Structure 1
């Protein structure tokens, strides 16, 4: 069966970079007028030439967002279950070579975290771990997912890539979605930053969304770690290619795109390519024009000032008050964190800012009595 790897092999990084950088103002204007974006149009909207068209780009993105999602913005929160990791990555605070305290939550600690999160009003939960198949793998997930799922309306995961059969099993335990970020789509740059562990396998990770689609997972999240490669523009275009592939082959699934920029962490690196805030707005709005129906998510990696101004344009899914360490909600231990969030406002503060912008915060958009995808497929 074909996977995105087959499409990826047809794509030439340097050629894409030249084509993006060669786009003209006329190409950008053509893309802005298009009813449905082509790949060339997406290149134009990611290009340096599009920087001068940020206002009309943002205006069209906002119109499309309001047409598709109304004035609603959904809230989610990450729950870090473990910072154990068997990989050595240059940019991550959980990297096995970093001398930090390690922690994996047990049943009692998970219950305390869930209670603290529910007390803040969250119903959409993202479970996050380091990548340690032995100690935080399927046995751990089988043990804890059902109890967590009973407490929340939506359950998603961001963990190590798994086999298709494992995703199918997790779906029966209540899993709704999986976020898996390729980090960078440039194979040799990927190898430079992933020094040890299973994460060194570029293609196993690249084909993870295909396995998710084959397993019938409802929501699949994509993204690149912006700044890891020498061209954020090419990486973002590769995310667009990946999205288009998946939508064509696994049309029953929904999709989510995130835009994480490198943040400070223990033992971390400096970005290889810098994306400023205007360029991030440009990229977010380009994705809205490419895929009006797709969830676009913005995390607490970004500043309060930036989030308050960008969310009303094209974002329809946000996190708030994120703790990036295990046990961070019931007992805050910053020394365990994966990276330092930039927006540390409490959820009610973020919600008030959205309301002031004319938006409606959504804490819950599903209930068990409605049935679930895993029950009907």
Structure 2
């Protein structure tokens, strides 16, 4: 498991690699077909700034070669904002004195009906981490009810055991998203002062438990702006490649959630600029060539339209980050504020304007 591999990565040595890369290293990386971690570090470094157009062009060409001119569309469905964790950066922090909501299956199906009516066939079920409200039984029963309407159902919930993921797989769930948040163990403890999420290693091994439990796709990510962005990105790149090499039947996706101010007064420790985020997207395309790269509505419409051709292959649209947000509960607590508030049709039109196709369905279990 990766929790046994991770301690062998000398973080001080990795930081030295990050700090020492220069212009020559960027040029070398751009000539390679298969990058190592030093090449990745070079492409996200300040030394890469003069080469950003060349990097973006190479990432674009590789993306078109591997994925074509398509963007897979998905929508998140938040079923609960109850949470037992005290994550300092999250609006669902259990210490925030806000009204909490759990959707009944009927209410979740109402939201799902709105999402399906907009064309989506890829759905991500999201909740705060509180198994008293959202557990394997709740998720499994809901997935069974949703299977006829959606071709792909994913979960972004509390980490489960391998048996839990196997149960969800049998109910129709086929993908898992789980962010490590930061690979800095000291910072991880600091920003997770309470709750089961404090267990760094248990979370670190979650993608593998998901793969072993039958998930056809696992999604990784860090919260950009929480820790040192270069060090977290390099660790994420190493983790993603490890999963791709050791669980080759499982597709890997990488997300780029950039931290915003959250309920409770949290401000990002190390804000990430647009330029840095663009370099990250390009570098991940060139380092993890076949990974699905995801950009959510956390980002502005202008930024998403500008950067998606540089490596992004999956995007959300029309997202609501509060339980019941699609059909009824406009006033419930959001996990984060949506920056791209355009309608689904507007986002799809913007994708077409750049010569790409918005794809609503690219997977069906009946074809396996």
| TM-score bin, normalised by smaller chain | over 0.9
Distance 1:335 1:17 in 2: 41
Q: 1:116 aligns with which of 107, 114, 117?
A: 114
The corresponding residue for 1:138 is 136
Which of the numbers 344, 347, 350 marks the counterpart of 2:347? 350
How far the C-alpha of 1:264 sits from its partner, in A, is 2.3
| SS of 1:284 mapped into structure 2 | helix
Deviations 1:261-316 (A, max 9, x none): 10222114221212100110001000000122110000000000000010122111
> Which residue number corresponds to residue 185 of structure 2?
187
The range that moved more, 32-41 or 208-217, is 208-217
What is the deviation of 1:332?
Answer: 4.2
Which residue of structure 2 aligns with residue 12 of structure 1?
10
Counterpart CA distance in 1 for 2:366 and 2:159 is: 30
Residue 27 of structure 2 is aligned to residue 29 of structure 1: yes
Distance 1:225 1:338 in 2: 13
1:240 aligns with 2:237: yes
| Counterpart among 268, 283, 288 of residue 285 in structure 2 | 288
Change (3 A) 1:250 1:369: closer
Matched with 2:46 is 48
Do residues 341 (structure 1) and 338 (structure 2) align? yes
SS at the partner of 1:297?
Answer: strand
Quote the offset at 1:58 in angstroms.
Answer: 0.1
After superposition, where does 1:259-274 map in structure 2 within 5 Å? 259-274=256-271
Structure 1 residue 95 corresponds to structure 2 residue 93 = yes
5 Å-filtered alignment, 1:140-289, equals 140-229=138-227, 231-289=228-286
Structure 1 stretch displaced more, 46-55 or 355-364: 46-55
Question: What is the match of residue 71 of structure 2?
Answer: 73
4+ residue runs of structure 1 moved beyond 4 angstroms?
A: none
- Report the aligned-residue RMSD: 1.1
Give the SS at the match of 2:320.
coil
Kept in 1, the 8 Å contact 2:323–2:332? The answer is no
Q: Specify which of 121, 127, 130 is matched with residue 129 of structure 1.
A: 127
| Offset, 1:368 | 4.8
Contact 1:84 1:102 in 2 (8 A): yes
Which one of the candidate residues 321, 326, 331 is aligned to 2:328?
331
Q: Could you state the TM-score of these two structures normalised by the residue count of structure 1?
A: 0.95
- Which consecutive residues of structure 1, in runs of 5 or more, have no partner in the other structure? 372-377
Contact 1:51 1:279 (8 Å CA) reproduced: no
Q: What's 1:297 paired with?
A: 294
Alpha-carbon distance in structure 2 between the residues aligned to 1:157 and 1:221: 10
Q: Secondary structure at the match of 1:127?
A: strand
C-alpha displacement at 1:39, in angstroms? 1.7
SS in 1 for 2:74: strand
8 A contact 2:90–2:335 mirrored in 1? yes
What SS class does the counterpart of residue 358 from structure 1 fall into?
coil
Distance (whole Å) between structure 1 residues aligned to residue 141 and residue 168 of structure 2 = 11
Give the Å deviation of 1:140: 1.3
Task: Give the 3 Å change call, closer, same or farther, for CA 335–327 of structure 1 in structure 2.
Answer: closer
The answer to whether the 8 Å contact 2:219/2:253 transfers is yes
Q: Given the superposition, is the C-alpha separation of residues 81 and 75 from structure 1 closer, same or farther in structure 2, using an over 3 Å criterion?
A: same
